[in-house]
Amino acid sequence: MIFETGTVNLEEQIVSILLEKGLTLTTAESCTAGLIASRLVNVPGISSVFMQGYITYSNESKQSLIGVSEETLNTYGAVSPQVAGEMAKGAAKAAGCDVAVSCTGIAGPDGGTALKPVGLVYIGCLVKGKLTVLENHFQGSRQQVREASCEKALELLLTCLTANE
């Protein structure tokens, strides 16, 4: 799904919609480690809608900063749709925001297994209580997986913001 039109990129479209709807945004990132927030803050006017971003690389930070449950982490693992969902919900609650996007995955080159291979990334998006989580399988180097994850997270965020318009 491509949303870019002319010279307006994904993040500019997202910020425009957030401003128009009066919504606030937070991010919760693991494998992308701030790439999503970095792309968003390139847009002038973002300070009116972007409250904060969480880089929750460790399980401990997922728990302490955004309230991901230890039980969920132990049962499903950090790279799971359940954790991506709890990351989005927890970040929105912690930051007091209407909208949250989360990302957790295995960027590689190590860390993959047969059940959870390198390139497996879950992206969560919460908009006013409605949660969407996508499973993704990306190829390439560590940086390519991280950049693809960031791009897909922005696409999902835009899709969720424009749903039911």
- Structural domain including 52 reads 10-162
Reading the block at residue 134, the tokens are 């996508």
Task: Tell me the β-bridge partners of 119.
Answer: none
Q: Establish if 4 belongs to a structural domain.
A: no
Number of CB atoms found within 10 A of residue 31's CB: 23
Number of CB atoms found within 10 A of residue 104's CB: 28
Contacts 24+ apart (CB under 8 A), 74-81: 77/116, 78/30, 78/104, 79/104, 79/105, 79/106, 79/116, 79/120, 79/121, 79/122, 80/104, 80/122, 81/122, 81/124, 81/133, 81/135
pLDDT tens-digit series, residues 56-96: 999 999 999 999 999 999 999 999 999 999 999 999 999 99
pLDDT tens-digit series, residues 97-144: 999 999 999 999 999 999 999 999 999 999 999 999 999 999 999 999
Q: Establish if 140 belongs to a structural domain.
A: yes
Q: For the chain, how many structural domains are there in total?
A: 1
Number of H-type helices and E-type strands within the chain: 6, 5
The pLDDT of residue 8:
80
pLDDT at 1 over 50: no
Give the confidence band of 165 by pLDDT, cuts at 50, 70, 90.
low
Give dist(CA 93, CA 77) in Å, integer: 22
Nearest 5 degrees, angle CA 67-CA 86-CA 10? 115
Q: Establish if 63 belongs to a structural domain.
A: yes
Q: Establish if 93 belongs to a structural domain.
A: yes
pLDDT tens-digit series, residues 106-115: 999 999 999 9
Which of 56, 157, 19 is CA-nearest to residue 101? 157
Q: Establish if 37 belongs to a structural domain.
A: yes
Q: Which CATH number goes with the domain that contains 89? A: 3.90.950.20
The pLDDT of residue 3:
52
Q: Establish if 112 belongs to a structural domain.
A: yes
Q: Establish if 2 belongs to a structural domain.
A: no
Nearest 5 degrees, angle CA 150-CA 152-CA 154? 70
Q: Establish if 5 belongs to a structural domain.
A: no
